Amino acid sequence: MPVWAIGGGLRVSMNSTIRLSMDGGLILFENPSGLIVWSSSTSNLGVKKATLLDNGNLVLVGNGDRVLWESFHSPTSTLLPGQTLHFPQTLRAPSMNSISSYYTFVIQRSGELALVWENNVTYWRTHLSFSSNIMEARFDADGFLGLKDATNRTIWSTSSNDFKDPSVTLRHLRMDYDGNLRIYSWDHVLHEWKITWQAVGNQCDVFGSCGLYGFCRFKSTGPVCDCLYQDSSNWGASSVTMDSGGLKCKKMVDLSNCKMNTSMVDMKQSVLYGLYPPQDVAMMLNEKDCKGYCSNDPTCIAATSKNDGSGICTLKRTSFISGYRNPSIPATSFLKVCLVPQAVLTQQSDPYFNPKSIFSLSKGFIDHEDRKLRLRQEFPLARMIR
């Protein structure tokens, strides 16, 4: 399991080499070009050797075993026991499919810890009750993660559910590719890493957890992703679990190219939000007026009306949207779609949906669990949910 990567995860060819040069620099060469793609910047500082310590720290050592450079000072996605994080250091989730991750664990200038999407959406934070001179975030061998001030006083802390268990000798804190921060402990009986703490309890609360045009919901087996839209070139995909690498969803049809009019799909106990840009437009409207406003606004793609008494209606004017659903969510969302002619009613209704018009959505989104949609063969993509 990788716990540190050169340059935050630089990708080079298979025959590239890393070398400790005669002048003391640790250098990564891209072969066969010989191009230097990363360096420790320790040339002519008196480096004598490179050593991997028992705690996982890679160090460059000079005279008198003085540490001149160490991997612990440039964390990538993981903190090992004894490792610290200082502003403006971050942990960045490992990339997937050669695409840089959107998720980062940061220690902010204020000293708070936060999980951030694309540097502008914070979806988890420590929520410190008072300001303090935070010096560092520290992860300890006993499963403790805490914020320390200049006097080494703990300002905020959390711990793994096996905190100080003497039988557990290996732990690490990792920013995972799905946007969650977790503590892992090694199970000596099962010979595997097990999750013993995570920052976001409900994975659907991680911003953009199912990606572009994706929708997160819970099944008995855990969180799954569905697609909001599908088109005639692709029937869509069944729901996929979070650990399957995500669902590649189709882009929505350009509403300006609808053959007929548009309609609004009611999605109960659901929240939709814009990804690019992530900012929504908030208005004070009741549920009926929220739906009507978006329906009549040609720039509105979707809307969410909160049913918590606040009267807040958020409009999404970007087609790059995502969302989540949970029975405990006091909100109804409305998705603008193209009308589809000559659709046939399905045999079963979905309690979360209440559209009174014909629309096109993905099979995975409507057909969760064991439902099957019965459609006329001549119109395989058209269906209505009553």
Give the span between the Cα atoms of 73 and 57, in whole angstroms: 9
Establish whether the linkage from the previous residue to 277 is cis, with ω within 30° of 0: yes
Identify the structural domains of the chain with CATH numbers, from first to last: 1-74 (2.90.10.10), 75-201 (2.90.10.10), 205-234+247-338 (3.50.4.10)
Give the span between the Cα atoms of 349 and 45, in whole angstroms: 71
Cβ burial of 322 (10 Å; 0-12, 13-18, 19+) is buried
Give the span between the Cα atoms of 215 and 226, in whole angstroms: 5
Give the span between the Cα atoms of 138 and 145, in whole angstroms: 6
Could you list the pLDDT tens digit for every one of the 386 residues in the chain?
Answer: 889 988 877 788 888 999 999 999 999 998 888 899 999 999 999 999 999 999 999 999 999 999 999 999 999 999 999 999 999 999 999 876 555 678 999 999 888 999 999 888 999 999 887 767 888 999 999 999 999 998 999 999 999 999 999 999 999 999 998 999 999 999 999 999 999 999 999 999 999 888 888 889 888 888 888 888 754 233 334 555 555 555 678 776 677 777 678 889 899 999 999 887 767 899 999 999 999 999 999 889 999 999 998 999 999 998 888 999 988 899 999 999 887 643 333 323 444 544 333 333 333 333 333 333 322 333 333 332 22
- pLDDT of res. 100: 60
Percentage, residues of the chain above pLDDT 70: 80
- Give the list of residues 6+ apart from residue 261 with CB closer than 8 angstroms, or none: 339
Is the torsion defined by CA of 21, 23, 26, 30 positive or negative? Answer: negative
* Contacts of range 25-33, beta carbons closer than 8 Å, 24 or more positions apart: 26/50, 26/60, 26/69
pTM for the structure as a whole: 0.79
The model's pLDDT over 130-185, given as tens digits with 9 standing for 90+, comes to 767 888 999 999 999 999 998 999 999 999 999 999 999 999 999 998 999 999 99
φ, ψ of residue 115 in degrees (nearest 5): -105, 130
Give the other-Cβ count within 10 Å of 97's Cβ: 7
Give the span between the Cα atoms of 238 and 205, in whole angstroms: 21
- Give the list of residues 6+ apart from residue 242 with CB closer than 8 angstroms, or none: 178, 203, 209, 222, 223, 224, 225
Contact yes or no for 264/294 (Cβ under 8 A): yes
